[in-house]
Structure 1
Amino acid sequence: MEKIGSSRRQYRLALGLSAMVVVLFFVFSGFSVKTPVRRVLRSISRRELRSSTGIKLIRRQVVMDNGLVRVTFSNPGGDVIGIKYNGIDNLLAIDNEESNRGYWDVVWNKPEEKSINIDRLQGTRFQIIKEDHKQLEISFTKTWRISMNGTTVPLNVDKRYIMLANYSGFYAYATFERLDGWPAVGMDQIRIVYKLRQDKFQFMSVSDDRQRVMPTIGDREKGEKLAYPEAVLLTNPTNSELRGEVDDKYQYSSESKDNKVHGWISSDPPVGFWIITPSSEFRTAGPIKQDLTSHAGPIALSMFTSTHYAGKDLGMEFKEGEAWKKVYGPVSIYLNSVSADKDSLTLWENAKDQMQEEVGQWPYNFPQSEDFVYADKRGSIGGQLFIRDRYMHNKLIWGGFAYVGLAAPGDVGSWQKESKGYQFWTQADKRGYFSITNVLPGNYSLYAWVPGVIGDYKYNDIITIQSGSNMTLDRIVYEPPRNGPTLWEIGIPDRSAAEFYIPDPYPTLMNELYNNHPEKFRQYGLWERYADLYPNKDLTYTVGADDYRKDWFFAQVTRSAANGTYKATTWQVIFTLENEPETGNYTLRLALASATDSELQVRFNNETAKAHFTTGLIGKDNAIARHGIHGLYWLYSIDVPSSLLFKGENKIYFTQSRSINPFQGVMYDYVRLERPPQT
């Protein structure tokens, strides 16, 4: 029988309800376990010793099997050390140590120390949570004690794995908890890692237009290291077609709203390994937070929180004594296959179908943890968003396609730096109607931003979601920042620099995937093209004559100088006032899509004067080096006294003054100069 896709419905039709099995492997010490399962796997090690009370084995392992997939875990650590599927004994990297195949980890530090620690969250206790003909759920727990202070992250962790009858894969989730009185700690990253077999998995899919044959770890190790460790020029890859290309794991990042399924395809036999994330509620920083997906290894990641494309602003910092609890997941590890005579790319199409099915079933009704909240205990909120901008429209307009979300109470825009709680986002329709469903009970602020409209909206009142509630807001109105009519503008206010000029990469430093691609900005080394395009002087942009799509470089970066040093850069915007400046203050709106160790200074008509405005040192998102096209969003409103302007030609000087390395700089989202208010 051909198998493609393994949705629960398809496999019920094909196979019926398979009996599922849990097999426990313990160090041989006379210890035995009673289990209601009487018929165990036919493929159990011959070293087992049977008795009337259970199974005795030499190795410490736990195995789950539903007849389609067999998953082996270390016990009591809870690492995934083996996945058997479709005739392949183990999909995971068999040359790796068992502890380096499928695992959770946390990057953490003590606040007073700069050192970075990685905790693999090894469990100390194993437990069967549920076992019947429909479902298995098992638990590996790690319990923190004060005697562990400084040696392991101060968290209680309950890692759970679920296997359902006739589902071709399994689910993973975990509850993280801190109790009152525990020590302060910082946590910058939480994730699940799966390292697959290099001899099998060589084709990666992140999206419809980001799929390719990938290099191996060996190819990278033989390659030429570039400006930072993640970027490697492939000089002698096993696959000669990859020679001369650049590989960098950050080239395959995705925004949370798009990162729902990604993974790998094996061609012999045709098998797919996919991570499906049906909800982003447990991720951090809203719908456009970027993070890693799959990359050379072959490695597939489930990223829950990280400081990527944000910096320490997004790290979780817990004060001494601060309690906290959060559930991460479940996510699905989904496997599919087709016969050898079929196109293996159909596995990707099937994985997308399965993703849609998983999204439709969220929140799942099968996790057994009391901390996971089912749909009937959640609430919802809806409404319609309008925009009022009296200098653009005489009446309210729809907040079409706005991103609207609930996140922890905070200031305007604070959601993009929020990492401890849950966030619930949706995109409104063209008329501004939105509905946010399946929200966990609690107190939230309601936030929004509208593509094409500057700034952030925040609803005035705290939103309280109760179990089973269905709240509808009255018409809500966002009044974006505005003092006067627009004199001129550069760019599109969409929190991204993608509309600006993206240069071609150096021919010797290309990733062929991004040739003639809408995400051309993911090519390596584009920051160095600035000096090529502007060899003698910095960018000058003339309002009314130049086109930002061609004449505004996507990032204001430093310029390489002699002896490995770098120089600050100053861009000019030239515009003309036909008449004498109007009485009062003009307003310069300056929206940045990214900033990395930067200080942007603004001067009017005098390049050597003291800066009329400075951002101060801002940003750690590193989006320039990591091909992100945006990081965190920054919005500044600058008063410009009319005394600084002239009738005729005027110049604004934008100086990015920090210049230690090539990755310092800013990406602009949007620049607008407004006239003084009109009475």
Structure 2
Amino acid sequence: MAPIGVQLQIDDHHVMIDNGILQVTLSNPEGIVTGVRYNSLDNVLEVLDNENQRGYWDVVWSALDGSGKTGIFEVIRATSFNVIVESEELVEVSFSRPWDPSLKGKFVPLNIDKRFILLRGCSGFYTYAIYEHLGSRESQAFSLGETRVAFKLRKDKFQYMAVDDDRRRYMPLPDDRLPGRGQPLAYPEAVLLVNPVEDAFKGEVDDKYQYTCENRNLMVHGWISNDPAVGFWQITPSDEFRTGGPLKQNLCSHVGPTCLAVFVGAHYAGDDLIPKFGQGEPWKKVFGPVFIYLNTVAGEEDPLTLWDDAKRQMMVEVSSWPYSFPSSEDFPKSNQRGNVNGKLLIHDRFVHDHDMPTNGAYVGLATPGEAGSWQRECKDYQFWTETCENGDFSIKNIRTGTYNLYAWVPGFLGDYRNEVAITITPGCNINVGTLIYEPPRNGPTLWEIGIPDRSAAEFYVPDPNPQYVNKLFLDQPKNKFRQYGLWERYGELYPQEDLVFTVGESDYSKDWFYAQVPRKKEDKSYEGTTWQIKFKLENIQRSATYILRIALAGASLAELQVRVNDRNKPRPLFTTGLIGRDNAIPRHGIHGLYWLYSVDVLGSLLLEGDNTFYLTQTRSQSPFQAIMYDYIRLEGPNPKAKI
């Protein structure tokens, strides 16, 4: 039997869209999702919550006009409702709120148009929004700290969460985080479950940051109800509208049960990823569409198989991108977009005489800027892909505009940027030919520590304190870094003296701690730490220059100083100065933003035989002022350089 047509019902306070599979109810004219009826559940959203706290778009914003209004959380409540399309095949509705000077200081200074779409025969609904900052003198200057879509599900039903294949489990209840049941730890998001409703969770740590994902992997996540068997999933088929590129990390699902689609956020990056808009600066961006998918099983089938079905549906949505059905002219369809293809090779004469293919390199288009600027870009769109075995790449469905082409290659340092800007026009197919990336290199590798992959995952990640575990990660070596409190383990391993790494003897997977954190002293204060790299050199060219490459996987209000063969020298050979606000360590991240430094080391500073680099992280007001290393390499002098 053919699926029934989509029906729209409008009354004074609610709008209901029904296609016979599910019914979506929104407040009129605010545009808050107050109910989703599916299967035998009259509402999958938390009925105990106020209607305006169930399914909503929100922002966190700050005024930049000296008024002092900062960090304002606002659920977007529209003031006008309109039907965009109404047919048996599709209903699209709009909930909008224009901004004018009379609203200054009261609401985020944006025109916002929230859209919701329901299709015939579709087991889910779509939502997207158009944000616009007007290019007029009256338009207020502000920064956008966060924007997202949030759904709060019924806690009595949705108790199994899936973020990826390795992070899925029955979860503690929201009540377990309340006083008497949960004990707050170093920060409010982390709670030790001391008296949970279910004894099985006793002694575990619950922390939403343990379930964050990188954009490149954040495509489907959600929750499962066993009785009735219902899955609720948030599917993001494209990264183009999320900020910070493929490695940016965002929250997704966590205890609540909460399901999020985050588009702009400062987590794991800090202020660098907060877009700032001047007075009268014109800007418009479409966030989404994202797909809210609901599914069920037949007969006695295991409800947990709904996760596998959600992954299949995610692939269907990806193959359908860009969607053909959104009505807004601000969302271009496939024939209004362009494509770019080419080949990326890498040239490092100290690795191979010939250009090498870049299998698995990341190639992307983003706003014109400096090499690597894409990871801090937070106003416009980005489009990324990976190279094939021979270095070929193809980036499809790019919005019109002017971009730089960027790339980075796992296994090699640095960032590539093609100096020639690329202008995308509707229907274009641009072949950029063969591009050659020459990574930073001055001379041969004398020694190296780690793998240049923008992550500290290859280094030593300690076992968690048995008092603070998440059992999910106990048998998952690749997720070990997600355990709570690992930063405290450094002081236990090195109570008096700091880490010493001896090139040729030490193993970085066992002997290089994943993060250079301050040490806690007996009086509970903290002190900076100095790590040593000991190495031997022979036949030193005293008038030549050696290069120490230091790639950081993250930094948070830290300062790295480098000294050579004299740890007490008043002035370091090099200092980063105060850098970073990614706060990745307490948020269980194995990286934040990427930093690359090249330190000139004169041969006259080195000794025949034994040498030592002293790496000091000086800042120590909190346990989280720290850095994570990605990779360190000492290069010999350039053999072609004149001595």
Kindly provide the amino acid, as one letter, of the partner of residue 626 in structure 2.
Answer: G
What's the TM-score, normalizing by structure 2?
A: 0.97
Residue number in structure 2 paired with 1:53: none
Question: Counterparts of 2:540 and 2:83 in 1: how far apart (Å)?
Answer: 79
Deviation per CA, 1:191-242: give whole Å up to 9, x if none: 0000000000000000111101111111011200000010000111111111
Kindly provide the amino acid, as one letter, of the partner of residue 74 in structure 1.
Answer: S
1:633 corresponds to 2:590 = no
Kindly provide the amino acid, as one letter, of the partner of residue 570 in structure 1.
Answer: T
Residue number in structure 2 paired with 1:102: 55
Give the secondary-structure state (helix, strand or coil) at the position aligned to 2:143. Answer: strand
Question: Counterparts of 2:360 and 2:22 in 1: how far apart (Å)?
Answer: 41
Deviation per CA, 1:62-81: give whole Å up to 9, x if none: 11100010111011000000
What is the CA distance between 1:120 and its match in structure 2?
Answer: 1.1
Give the secondary-structure state (helix, strand or coil) at the position aligned to 1:513. Answer: helix
Give the secondary-structure state (helix, strand or coil) at the position aligned to 1:354. Answer: helix
What is the CA distance between 1:474 and its match in structure 2?
Answer: 1.8
| 1:474-513 alignment runs, 5 A limit | 474-513=433-472
Give the secondary-structure state (helix, strand or coil) at the position aligned to 1:556. Answer: coil
* Kept after mapping to 2: 8 A contact 1:382/1:473: yes
1:456 corresponds to 2:456 = no
Question: Counterparts of 1:547 and 1:583 in 2: how far apart (Å)?
Answer: 32
Give the secondary-structure state (helix, strand or coil) at the position aligned to 1:475. Answer: strand
Give the secondary-structure state (helix, strand or coil) at the position aligned to 2:10. Answer: strand
| 1:29-44 alignment runs, 5 A limit | none
Give the secondary-structure state (helix, strand or coil) at the position aligned to 1:461. Answer: strand
Question: Of the candidates 185, 189, 196, which is equivalent to residue 153 of structure 2?
Answer: 196
| 1:545-584 alignment runs, 5 A limit | 545-584=505-544
Question: Counterparts of 1:121 and 1:211 in 2: how far apart (Å)?
Answer: 31
- Give 5+ residue unaligned stretches, structure 2: none
Deviation per CA, 1:361-383: give whole Å up to 9, x if none: 00000001111100001000000
Residue number in structure 2 paired with 1:352: 311
What is the CA distance between 1:564 and its match in structure 2?
Answer: 2.6
Kindly provide the amino acid, as one letter, of the partner of residue 61 in structure 2.
Answer: W
Give the secondary-structure state (helix, strand or coil) at the position aligned to 1:562. Answer: coil
| 1:219-234 alignment runs, 5 A limit | 219-221=176-178, 222-234=181-193
* Kept after mapping to 2: 8 A contact 1:74/1:81: yes
Question: Counterparts of 2:83 and 2:125 in 1: how far apart (Å)?
Answer: 15
1:237 corresponds to 2:196 = yes
Kindly provide the amino acid, as one letter, of the partner of residue 414 in structure 2.
Answer: G
Residue number in structure 1 paired with 2:343: 384
Deviation per CA, 1:580-632: give whole Å up to 9, x if none: 34531000000000000000000000001111100000000000110110000
Give the secondary-structure state (helix, strand or coil) at the position aligned to 1:92. Answer: coil
1:284 corresponds to 2:239 = no
| 1:158-169 alignment runs, 5 A limit | 158-169=113-124
Question: Counterparts of 1:268 and 1:420 in 2: how far apart (Å)?
Answer: 43
Question: Counterparts of 2:542 and 2:436 in 1: how far apart (Å)?
Answer: 30
* Kept after mapping to 1: 8 A contact 2:446/2:634: yes
* Kept after mapping to 2: 8 A contact 1:500/1:552: yes
Question: Of the candidates 8, 20, 28, which is equivalent to residue 67 of structure 1?
Answer: 20
Residue number in structure 2 paired with 1:20: 6
What is the CA distance between 1:19 and its match in structure 2?
Answer: 2.1
Query: 1:84/1:211 Cα in 2 relative to 1: closer, same or farther (>3 Å)?
Result: same
Question: Of the candidates 138, 158, 173, which is equivalent to residue 216 of structure 1?
Answer: 173
1:259 corresponds to 2:218 = yes
Question: Counterparts of 1:424 and 1:168 in 2: how far apart (Å)?
Answer: 28
Question: Counterparts of 1:584 and 1:383 in 2: how far apart (Å)?
Answer: 39
1:137 corresponds to 2:92 = yes
Question: Counterparts of 1:662 and 1:189 in 2: how far apart (Å)?
Answer: 26
1:617 corresponds to 2:574 = no
Kindly provide the amino acid, as one letter, of the partner of residue 289 in structure 1.
Answer: K
Residue number in structure 1 paired with 2:107: 152
Q: What is the aligned length?
A: 632
Query: 1:295/1:340 Cα in 2 relative to 1: closer, same or farther (>3 Å)?
Result: farther
Question: Counterparts of 1:344 and 1:229 in 2: how far apart (Å)?
Answer: 33
Question: Counterparts of 1:661 and 1:114 in 2: how far apart (Å)?
Answer: 27
Residue number in structure 2 paired with 1:172: 127
* Kept after mapping to 1: 8 A contact 2:540/2:603: no
Kindly provide the amino acid, as one letter, of the partner of residue 434 in structure 1.
Answer: F
Question: Counterparts of 1:469 and 1:623 in 2: how far apart (Å)?
Answer: 40
Question: Counterparts of 1:675 and 1:582 in 2: how far apart (Å)?
Answer: 11
Residue number in structure 2 paired with 1:644: 605
* Kept after mapping to 2: 8 A contact 1:592/1:670: yes
Residue number in structure 2 paired with 1:668: 629
- Give 5+ residue unaligned stretches, structure 1: 1-14, 27-59
Question: Counterparts of 1:658 and 1:229 in 2: how far apart (Å)?
Answer: 23
Deviation per CA, 1:446-501: give whole Å up to 9, x if none: 00000001000000111111110000012100000001111100000000000000
What is the CA distance between 1:17 and its match in structure 2?
Answer: 2.6
* Kept after mapping to 2: 8 A contact 1:383/1:434: yes
Kindly provide the amino acid, as one letter, of the partner of residue 205 in structure 1.
Answer: A
Question: Of the candidates 432, 438, 443, which is equivalent to residue 402 of structure 2?
Answer: 443
* Kept after mapping to 1: 8 A contact 2:61/2:144: yes
Residue number in structure 2 paired with 1:472: 431
Give the secondary-structure state (helix, strand or coil) at the position aligned to 2:536. Answer: strand
Residue number in structure 2 paired with 1:39: none
* Kept after mapping to 2: 8 A contact 1:581/1:647: no
What's the TM-score, normalizing by structure 1?
A: 0.92
Give the secondary-structure state (helix, strand or coil) at the position aligned to 2:426. Answer: coil
Kindly provide the amino acid, as one letter, of the partner of residue 572 in structure 2.
Answer: A
Kindly provide the amino acid, as one letter, of the partner of residue 536 in structure 2.
Answer: T
* Kept after mapping to 1: 8 A contact 2:193/2:206: yes
Kindly provide the amino acid, as one letter, of the partner of residue 25 in structure 1.
Answer: D
Kindly provide the amino acid, as one letter, of the partner of residue 316 in structure 1.
Answer: P
Kindly provide the amino acid, as one letter, of the partner of residue 87 in structure 2.
Answer: D
Question: Counterparts of 2:554 and 2:389 in 1: how far apart (Å)?
Answer: 28
Question: Counterparts of 1:271 and 1:395 in 2: how far apart (Å)?
Answer: 55
* Kept after mapping to 2: 8 A contact 1:581/1:645: no
* Kept after mapping to 2: 8 A contact 1:269/1:340: no
Question: Counterparts of 2:224 and 2:264 in 1: how far apart (Å)?
Answer: 26
Question: Counterparts of 1:68 and 1:475 in 2: how far apart (Å)?
Answer: 50
Kindly provide the amino acid, as one letter, of the partner of residue 352 in structure 2.
Answer: H
Deviation per CA, 1:509-538: give whole Å up to 9, x if none: 000111121211000000000011111200
* Kept after mapping to 2: 8 A contact 1:19/1:66: yes
Kindly provide the amino acid, as one letter, of the partner of residue 122 in structure 2.
Answer: Y
Question: Counterparts of 1:443 and 1:632 in 2: how far apart (Å)?
Answer: 25
1:589 corresponds to 2:589 = no
What is the CA distance between 1:114 and its match in structure 2?
Answer: 6.2
Give the secondary-structure state (helix, strand or coil) at the position aligned to 1:16. Answer: coil
Kindly provide the amino acid, as one letter, of the partner of residue 151 in structure 2.
Answer: Y
Question: Counterparts of 1:204 and 1:444 in 2: how far apart (Å)?
Answer: 38
1:115 corresponds to 2:70 = yes
Give the secondary-structure state (helix, strand or coil) at the position aligned to 1:473. Answer: strand
1:658 corresponds to 2:612 = no
Question: Counterparts of 2:530 and 2:266 in 1: how far apart (Å)?
Answer: 29
* Kept after mapping to 1: 8 A contact 2:519/2:623: yes
Question: Counterparts of 1:340 and 1:415 in 2: how far apart (Å)?
Answer: 48
Kindly provide the amino acid, as one letter, of the partner of residue 631 in structure 1.
Answer: G
* Kept after mapping to 2: 8 A contact 1:582/1:676: no
* Cα-Cα RMSD: 0.9
Deviation per CA, 1:10-45: give whole Å up to 9, x if none: xxxxx413122111121xxxxxxxxxxxxxxxxxxx
Question: Counterparts of 1:169 and 1:195 in 2: how far apart (Å)?
Answer: 16
Question: Counterparts of 1:114 and 1:658 in 2: how far apart (Å)?
Answer: 30
Question: Counterparts of 1:466 and 1:129 in 2: how far apart (Å)?
Answer: 27
Question: Counterparts of 1:359 and 1:426 in 2: how far apart (Å)?
Answer: 13
Question: Counterparts of 1:66 and 1:622 in 2: how far apart (Å)?
Answer: 45
